[in-house]
A and B are shown apart, each in its own frame.
Chain A
Amino acid sequence: DVKVTQSSRYLVKRTGEKVFLECVQDMDHENMFWYRQDPGLGLRLIYFSYDVKMKEKGDIPEGYSVSREKKERFSLILESASTNQTSMYLCASSLVQGKTQYFGPGTRLLVL
């Protein structure tokens, strides 16, 4: 079974803090994704990585950056957290030619 894990289930941060969300997958998947999930909006892609050190912006990259130094690990960084970044963050992975994405349990982030 594919396993995608995220470093925290719940996180509370202050406005202006730098926040790191980490995601690890154990199935040697090339593709990794960060989504943001908000009620009534579905999932929105923040960033996508198709290989180590490679990344592409998704639909809502503003205020976020990512890092992929190793194939199995994909980090999402909020450089200066703001209250409008309070949300559920989902990480996913897939094979390079795969259509199915496998998700982590999510991190619920509250920015005060």
Chain B
Amino acid sequence: AQTVTQSQPEMSVQEAETVTLSCTYDTSENNYYLFWYKQPPSRQMILVIRQEAYKQQNATENRFSVNFQKAAKSFSLKISDSQLGDTAMYFCAFMKHTSNYQLIWGAGTKLIIKP
């Protein structure tokens, strides 16, 4: 069975700093998808970034990028030039390539950006 582990329950950094959130997963699948979702306080969960396992290139979305290490089963999220609006819970999630719905979620990391 697949599992997703986020080892940092909470992190805090100063505004404008760079922060990296860690995520590891366990699977015997070769093809799959990995996601980072963000849940701001009292607001909706939204997708931050998505990575297909068959792509070697790390996904990027503006200030957000991932470091995908397939052999190590690691999928960390880097936030550059952090902003106050980045304060949120961040969840890492895994989906098998053959599934169109079954997401396996990590427990989440609470990220606080300090002014």
Q: Assess the B105–A43 pair: CB atoms within 8 A.
A: yes
Bound CA span A12–B99, Å: 35
Q: Assess the A100–B50 pair: CB atoms within 8 A.
A: yes
Q: Assess the B91–A103 pair: CB atoms within 8 A.
A: no
| Residues of chain A contacted by B95 (CB below 8 angstroms) | 99
| Residues of chain B contacted by A101 (CB below 8 angstroms) | 47, 101, 103
**Residue among A44, A94, A103 facing the most chain B CB atoms (10 A cut-off):** A103
Q: Assess the A106–B44 pair: CB atoms within 8 A.
A: yes
Q: Assess the A45–B44 pair: CB atoms within 8 A.
A: no
Q: Assess the A96–B44 pair: CB atoms within 8 A.
A: no
Bound CA span A42–B89, Å: 10
| Residues of chain B contacted by A104 (CB below 8 angstroms) | 44
9 nearest A-B pairs in the assembled complex, by CB-CB distance: A42-B105, A103-B45, A43-B105, A42-B107, A105-B44, A99-B33, A103-B44, A100-B47, A40-B107
| Residues of chain B contacted by A100 (CB below 8 angstroms) | 35, 47, 50
Let me know if A33 is at the binding interface, CB within 8 A: yes
Q: Which residue of B lies closest to A95 (CB)?
A: B100
Bound CA span A1–B64, Å: 21
| Residues of chain B contacted by A84 (CB below 8 angstroms) | none
Q: Assess the B44–A50 pair: CB atoms within 8 A.
A: no
Q: Assess the B107–A41 pair: CB atoms within 8 A.
A: yes
CB distance from B47 to the nearest CB of A (A): 5
| Residues of chain A contacted by B106 (CB below 8 angstroms) | 42
CB distance from B96 to the nearest CB of A (A): 10
Q: Assess the B100–A43 pair: CB atoms within 8 A.
A: no
| Residues of chain B contacted by A43 (CB below 8 angstroms) | 91, 103, 105
Q: List 27 A-B contacts (CB under 8 A).
A: A33-B101, A40-B107, A41-B107, A42-B4, A42-B91, A42-B105, A42-B106, A42-B108, A43-B91, A43-B105, A45-B103, A48-B101, A90-B45, A92-B45, A96-B100, A98-B100, A99-B35, A99-B50, A99-B100, A100-B47, A100-B50, A101-B47, A103-B45, A103-B46, A105-B43, A105-B44, A106-B44
Bound CA span A102–B103, Å: 13
